[in-house]
């Protein structure tokens, strides 16, 4: 191989990988900014995020010492933030709203919405819902159902303690 071929090969590889590096950098930068906003929300309630996880356009965090859950979802018109005091919660459950579509030869079940629902200890208070997925907003799911199941188990473990 001569030097010219090696240089052209390196340039082509750099051109092919540069978009992926750029997308990764932007995603990490966006996640850090979102996590910082979530930590500021927690700090307003004298809490500190001890565990967090990103999924799609949202992040969920928990303060296991003070028993608070914090949620931040990015929307086109800004961010939507919510928090739940687990001291006021009886249990957490994954809620799915499904729709059945009858096609010509088959029946298809479509998930319309996925939420984490927090049921309060007191009957006069309403449940708190964190919307993880809505098919009217997001076209495809990106692991929200597994995310919701995992976090409902995690939160229910914190509620048992």
Share of the chain above pLDDT 90, in %: 35
With 90 as the cut, is the pLDDT of residue 138 above it? Answer: no
Q: Please report the beta strands in 103-127, taking only residues with DSSP state E, as ranges in sequence order.
A: 107-120
- Evaluate whether 122 touches 33 at the Cβ level (below 8 Å): no
- Evaluate whether 144 touches 114 at the Cβ level (below 8 Å): yes
First to last CA, the chain: 66
Looking at every residue in the chain, the average pLDDT score rounds to: 88
- 140 pLDDT band, cuts 50/70/90, is confident
Share of the chain above pLDDT 70, in %: 99
Give CA–CA dist 49/34, Å, rounded.
13
Could you tell me the CA-to-CA distances from 157 to 75, 153, 154 in Å, in that order? 30, 6, 5
Give CA–CA dist 161/146, Å, rounded.
23
- 34 pLDDT band, cuts 50/70/90, is confident
In this prediction the pTM is 0.81
Read off the pLDDT of residues 39-92 as tens digits, 9 standing for 90 and up: 988 999 898 999 999 988 889 999 988 989 999 988 777 778 899 988 888 999
Q: Where are the domains of the chain?
A: 3-160
Return the higher-pLDDT residue of 101 and 146. Answer: 146
With 70 as the cut, is the pLDDT of residue 1 above it? Answer: no
Give CA–CA dist 40/47, Å, rounded.
9
Q: Residues 98-110: what's their mean pLDDT? A: 84
């Amino acid at each position: 191989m001569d030097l010219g071929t090696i240089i052209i090969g390196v340039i082509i590889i750099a051109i092919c990988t540069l978009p992926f590096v750029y997308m990764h950098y932007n995603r990490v930068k966006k996640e850090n900014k979102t996590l910082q906003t979530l930590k500021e929300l927690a700090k307003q309630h004298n809490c500190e995020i001890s565990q967090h996880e990103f999924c799609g356009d949202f992040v969920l965090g928990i303060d296991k010492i003070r028993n608070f859950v914090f949620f931040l979802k990015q929307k086109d018109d800004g961010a939507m933030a919510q928090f739940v005091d687990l001291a006021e919660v009886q249990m957490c459950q994954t809620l799915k709203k499904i729709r059945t579509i009858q096609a010509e030869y088959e029946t298809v079940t479509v998930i319309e919405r996925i939420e984490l629902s927090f049921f309060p200890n007191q009957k006069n208070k309403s449940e708190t819902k964190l919307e993880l997925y809505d098919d009217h907003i997001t076209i495809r799911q990106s692991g929200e159902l597994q995310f919701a199941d995992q976090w409902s188990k995690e939160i229910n473990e914190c509620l048992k303690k």
